[in-house]
Structure 1
Amino acid sequence: MITSRHSKEIIKLPNLIRYFSSKLKPNVKLDEEISTNIENAVIKPRNHPGRVKPRVVTLPDNVLKAMVNVAEDHSVKALIENGHAFERHLSCRLAPTEQGELKNIKRALLQEVLTAETKSNRKNDDEERFQQVVKDKLQKKLRRVVYNWTAVNYNGYNSLLYLFARFAPDYAALVRIFSEINTRDVSFQPKSLFDFGSGTGTATWAANLYWKKSVFEYFNVDSSRDMNDLAQLLLQGGRGTKSVNLKGTFYRQFLPANNVAYDLVVCAYTLLELPSLRSRLQTILNLWNKTASYLVIVEHGTNAGFKVVNEVRDFILNIKDETNIGHVFSPCPHDMICPRFLTDNTPCNFEVSFMSLPFSGPSSLKTERYSYVILKKGKRNGNDPQWPRIVRPPLLKSRHAICRMCTAVGKLEEVIFTASKYGKAAYRCARSSEWGDRLPVEIESDTCSKHDQDDNNS
């Protein structure tokens, strides 16, 4: 006779079978061309084409000299010290609360305050005093609950603070991003660059590292006139100098109304400075309409930064106009909903190392975490291998490497690479790869369950 306890165990058995079957190791195969090249000693595993370089970004010497020149009468040491607080403020910024959401919050808090005050002995106060108490307590609660977003005033001094606090990390992130475009799409030789929210001109400097000979127009838009003046002055090398030819470089305060398309369009560290979701989406659509090839969007690698990057990514991918569609070039190997956004509370971000400014002491190694997406015009090329992207630092153990990756089927997979399971070449490629690299393998398993995703995100 089967007891009730045994019957419960039998009922649970199918769930256990499904759970453990989902834990079967995925079918991972090293890309055939890469495998052949490694076998024939054409490339080494540590130099496989999925690796993103440079690993450490340094500022050009002429930028460092120009920064000292543009500081003029200001103390460089003071600018760096005050810039630290300014940078902390910028990195903690959130998107503004939407009006509809704010109304709902106010309504809920008002009801909470009214209930509390009515139950207290204040209910016997006169009506005018009662309303004032409710208003004061409501405002106090709103200040604690609602993020007080205000636009940053980039006057002359704040622009200098931004230059000394953010030029190096902004430049490093863009150098890393442009490097991937340059490496994976060798035929791309942009003739024009449009930088929205251009700030101190980091996109121009980073683009010159790869396409200086091909770009003949740099169109920079920033709402701050002081920031535009500073960027132009920096490009000149400082006051009284003209170390860089400014021909073809333009600065404006507003988006142009024309329909001119630019080969490379950049919007870096700007979306959180826009006052609403509507303005962000309108701006991105405008930029997408001005994009001939690539649109690059970058934000801080915080939850807030990742959220706005993901929101505009989905917005562009949902455009139904066949003449204006696009796909994700990087970092996602797919155009589906971000699996990390669906299943996790941590942002999809990446890290780049750079050398700090050498003005207040020896230059040291720093890191910048950023979230980004590169959108490319047109449909995805059928020859795109869609290698999985490593989305967290690999865990290197004795004789095995654990890689957590975002795959072409829009899922998070964790693969334990060993030489015995997947071959020596695949294991060495995995072991030499880092956070942000693409791993040149094909993952044929489609069994990644919610349990897998939860484990991967832990």
Structure 2
Amino acid sequence: MGTRRYVSRVFCQQASVLKIVSRNITAAANPQTNLDFLEGQPHKRHPGISHLKTLRLPEEMQTAARSIIDRAQVTQLPDRTLKLTNFLWSRKRAVEDFTLRQKALSLEKKLWKKAVEKGDNMDNHVVLEGVQREVFSELRRTIYHWTPLKYNEELGVVYMASRMAGGYAAVRRALNEIKKRDPTFAPHSLLDFGSGLGTVAWASHFYWADTLKEIVCVDSSGPMNILAERLLKGDEEHAPSHIKHVYFRQFLPVSPKVQFDLVTSAFTLSEISSIKEREEAVFTLWRKTSSYLLLVENGTKEGHQILMEARDTLLQKKEERVYDSRPASVFAPCSHEKTCPKLALMPALPCNFRQKYMPLNGHNSQIEKFSYLILTRAPPPEAKSNMSVEWSRLIASPQPRTRHVHCRLCCPDGQLKHVVVTPRKHGRDLYRCARSSEWGDQLPLIPDEEDNDMIQPDVEDNDMIQNDSE
């Protein structure tokens, strides 16, 4: 009996040694298992995590907003909030004049050809007038009619009831990316272009209340500026502002040499009618930026493409006069500076993210879908300088299965990949991090040749991404 116990103990010890050796061999073969990437953090809070739990508006902001809405007594408020939400979500860019002329000429040629083929013995002038009427009718029917939104006090209150909580959640989530990845960043000044109800001021105050000494909110709508100030004062005219050093303007500061540590613009570029005007606005905001520029739009195809226009403008085009020679580089969400691979999908899909939040009425959490872009003048933060691998971004919800996790990633090489993460192939630490991550987080993962390329995804992948993105 003693001999049997001894032999059994020896076999167990040998098995344990083999497991340790096997694990070490796997780690040596896969640099992704480098334990340094955890930086001493548990798997559930690894450095790549940037998602947030369900967000709520600050208590002071909620109280003031409810007071303003009650006093306004807007008729049919629930119906109007739903109508405004749907309008803003379905909003598209205005059709450029060049595109409109090209389409008109193409239609005119097509209709003229049909008229000639009919062989009607009619005066050419009469035929031309008929063709032009048909062209105008077809353009009115098929072209998106973009109209500017002009906010008066009543429409501002409707916007407050419908979009303030979701907008705050999107901005908080985007700012958290900077706070998490660059903890040394301590802005003293902030410029918010298209500030609306001041949600950026509240969200930035949450992260940098101790250092922010100047917040300049710029919005062309006087009534919106008044509502934003009422929110800061708790809807009491003579009360002190909850956030100090907030200044409201209707125009951007004139001097191009005046810069701010952090410049933001949320859901504003989509309110600019032409690509040329948006380009000028982006250049102006970049001139005002000394460290970070944050742009946020709806998580639709239009919102994403507006951000990609801005990205291309700052990365590929040059200003006539440069006041700050430090170049722009992408900080988030992209893990590269190549053309967005989602635009190459058929059909093209938006790169968007989700943030759960509680609406102003406090009933049932909702999800805000948004797209964002952060550019920086500063060199990449040193938080990841000790990493031996690069980080990829999860562009869809991970799908945990038994002993493996399906991850859809945007990788540093500019490719979309479907990676099946397993403890055997990628190491126990990366596997557990993948199971703890959510859509929008990062993973220290370099896919190999065996991983599926998603540039032309299969039907299952495409359906999954489509459902997640829309």
TM > 0.5:
yes
State how 1:94-109 maps to structure 2 within 5 Å.
Answer: 94-109=92-107
Cα pair 2:33 2:430 within 8 Å, conserved: yes
Cα pair 1:406 1:413 within 8 Å, conserved: yes
- Residue 163 in 1 paired to residue 160 in 2? yes
* Alignment partner of 2:293 out of 292, 295, 298: 295
Q: What amino acid is aligned across from residue 424 of structure 2 in structure 1?
A: S
Separation in 2 of the partners of 1:430 and 1:295? 29
1:448, distance to aligned residue in structure 2 (A): 7.0
Task: Report the counterpart of residue 307 of structure 1 in structure 2.
Answer: 305
State how 1:51-450 maps to structure 2 within 5 Å.
Answer: 51-75=49-73, 78-120=76-118, 123-125=120-122, 129-245=126-242, 247-258=244-255, 259-319=257-317, 323-344=325-346, 345-358=348-361, 363-380=363-380, 383-384=384-385, 386-439=390-443, 441-443=444-446, 445=448
Q: What amino acid is aligned across from residue 96 of structure 1 in structure 2?
A: A
Deviations 1:157-184 (A, max 9, x none): 1111111111011100011111121111
1:28, distance to aligned residue in structure 2 (A): 6.7
Deviations 1:92-136 (A, max 9, x none): 111111111111011011122223344458x44555654443233
Aligned-CA RMSD value: 2.4
Separation in 2 of the partners of 1:52 and 1:285? 28
Find the residue that maps to 1:296 and give its secondary structure.
strand
Q: What amino acid is aligned across from residue 355 of structure 1 in structure 2?
A: M
Deviations 1:328-349 (A, max 9, x none): 1111112222222233511111
1:55, distance to aligned residue in structure 2 (A): 2.0
Q: What amino acid is aligned across from residue 366 of structure 2 in structure 1?
A: K
Separation in 2 of the partners of 1:117 and 1:367? 52
Deviations 1:358-389 (A, max 9, x none): 2xxx5211001111111011444575554111
1:290, distance to aligned residue in structure 2 (A): 0.5
Cα pair 2:196 2:219 within 8 Å, conserved: yes
Q: What amino acid is aligned across from residue 232 of structure 1 in structure 2?
A: E
Find the residue that maps to 2:372 and give its secondary structure.
strand
Structure 1 pair 293–80 and aligned structure 2 pair: CA distance change class (3 A): farther
1:279, distance to aligned residue in structure 2 (A): 0.5
Separation in 1 of the partners of 2:90 and 2:455? 31
Q: What amino acid is aligned across from residue 32 of structure 1 in structure 2?
A: L
Separation in 2 of the partners of 1:44 and 1:185? 19
Structure 1 pair 346–388 and aligned structure 2 pair: CA distance change class (3 A): same
Separation in 2 of the partners of 1:169 and 1:117? 53
Separation in 2 of the partners of 1:453 and 1:437? 23
Cα pair 1:70 1:239 within 8 Å, conserved: no
Most deviating of 444-453 and 218-227: 444-453
Structure 1 pair 453–69 and aligned structure 2 pair: CA distance change class (3 A): same
Find the residue that maps to 1:309 and give its secondary structure.
helix
Separation in 2 of the partners of 1:241 and 1:457? 55
Separation in 2 of the partners of 1:416 and 1:101? 43
What is the aligned residue count? 423
1:221, distance to aligned residue in structure 2 (A): 0.9
Structure 1 pair 296–451 and aligned structure 2 pair: CA distance change class (3 A): closer
Task: Report the counterpart of residue 4 of structure 1 in structure 2.
Answer: none
Separation in 2 of the partners of 1:185 and 1:308? 26
Structure 1 pair 68–133 and aligned structure 2 pair: CA distance change class (3 A): same
Find the residue that maps to 2:412 and give its secondary structure.
coil
Find the residue that maps to 1:46 and give its secondary structure.
helix
After TM superposition, the score normalised by the length of structure 2 is: 0.84
Task: Report the counterpart of residue 34 of structure 1 in structure 2.
Answer: 37
